[in-house]
Amino acid sequence: MTTPCAVRAVGVVSALGCGADETWPRLVAADQSCLTARDDLVPGRRLIVGEVRAALPALPQRLHRYACRTNQLALVALGQIETPLRDVMKRTPADRVAVVMGTSTSGVASAEQAIAHRGPGGALDPDFDCVQLEQGGVAEFVAAATGATGPVYTLSTACSSSAKALASARALLALGLCDAVVAGGADSLCGLTTNGFHALRAIAAEPSNPFSVNRDGLTLGEGAAMFLLTRDPGGIQLAGAGEASDAFHMSAPDPEGAGAEIAMRAALDDAAVPPAAVSYLNLHGTGTPLNDAMESAAVHRLFGATLPCSSTKPLVGHTLGAAGALELAFCWMMLERWRDGALPLLPHCWDGRTDPALPALRFARVGEAIALTNRALVMSNSFGFGGNNCALLLGADER
């Protein structure tokens, strides 16, 4: 694709805080103090989670039927792009503004609560509306909140959902089907997800420890990220997107990482750049034995052992359907702070114990920046159940 895809604004909320100014200092300090413990999600088990502790706003009364935690998180992130979005919509017809969202849980937590507190005869709380539970409800809510009437849909491909939403948004702009897109993802903690991963024995006892010889699973989290994308040139661009569907197994990844490599190569081809042009890679980095093994193999084949990389999931948890957008937002924060030839890196948070069974990777350290001038490209990986893989590239010229 040669059509520009400018990132005009980004909103974000996670366990690290609300907005870039609150998030960034904790992110680059590898601050895990925002993680919390919950004992109400899986019976008989204490879990470390990346829960958003900030008070969340109530939805406007006109949108009350969409009232669930996932949409509240979406509303927080949406509020941070409100001004530039309003400016775009002043000169763009509403039917030329699209909404593409990614989620995996939608309002499952609200449904769980409604079912647990059924009234006489099994009646559900009148405040519960099935649209809260629908996967498509997240995009429908964002469209209703913004007034966008162009294409509106939600993608749900497990942990790559919102990365694929951004890839889809880029395609909508390139195809001329709209002039602006609100794209991103939102997901909230719920019993269904946590019990599912618990049944798979995939949840770590302590904060996740990706790529360590001591890794024993993931940490779950919640959050949201919203992007405003347009066809304007310049600034930070969504320069490439690559997708693959290897369908190796319902939950386990291809051990060789073939689908992951295809997605990364496709993103490079889309941006018309070689692997050497990439300055940093945000790893999917779940901390599970199989995912880290396949990703390290794929990354090492493509980039070798010198590209700075890291996983941010030990800081916010694995936010599932929101992870792709949230982690790309972290990469956007890096590029926003690229000054005087120094690109700050997102640090890899782990115990430093290398797994000799994994191909070597070059993990970024706390406080590290790399000397870089002229052009920066950063990649972010997202890999989901069923082999739903996506890699995204953000690019910018030196500011």
Contact, 387 vs 246, CB < 8 A? yes
Q: Which of 318, 331, 348, 390 is catalytic?
A: 318
- What are the b/e assignments for 189-199, b being 16+ CB within 10 Å? bbbebbeebbe
Q: Which of 5, 159, 309, 331 is catalytic?
A: 159
**Three-state DSSP state, 228:** strand
Q: What do you get for the CA distance between the two ends of the chain, in Å? A: 24
Catalytic status, residue 390: no
Q: What angle do CA 101, 107, 113 make, to 5 degrees?
A: 170
State mean pLDDT over 31-36: 97
Report how far apart, in Å, the C-alpha atoms of 172 and of each of 5, 100, 119, 179, 396 are. 10, 10, 45, 9, 21
- The closest alpha carbon to 224, from 133, 142, 345, 347, belongs to 142
199 φ, ψ to 5°? -65, -30
Q: Is the pLDDT of residue 1 over 70?
A: no
DSSP state of 136: T
Query: How far is it, in rounded angstroms, from Cα 260 to Cα 382?
Result: 9
Tokens describing residue 29:
């300090």
Query: How far is it, in rounded angstroms, from Cα 205 to Cα 389?
Result: 27
Contact, 347 vs 368, CB < 8 A? yes
- What tens digit of pLDDT does each residue of 63-99 get? 999 999 999 999 999 999 999 999 999 999 999 999 9
Domains for the chain: give ranges and CATH numbers: 6-397 (3.40.47.10)
Percent of the chain clearing pLDDT 70 (strictly above): 99
Within 8 A by CB and 6+ apart from 21, the residues are none
Q: Which of 5, 18, 198, 284 is catalytic?
A: 284
Q: Which H or E run contains 326?
A: helix 323-336
- What tens digit of pLDDT does each residue of 190-245 get? 999 999 999 999 999 999 999 999 999 999 999 999 999 999 999 999 999 999 98
Contact, 128 vs 110, CB < 8 A? yes
Catalytic status, residue 318: yes
Query: How far is it, in rounded angstroms, from Cα 152 to Cα 138?
Result: 10
Residue 399 has a pLDDT of 64
State mean pLDDT over 277-287: 97
Q: Which H or E run contains 48?
A: strand 45-50
**Three-state DSSP state, 167:** helix
Percent of the chain clearing pLDDT 90 (strictly above): 85
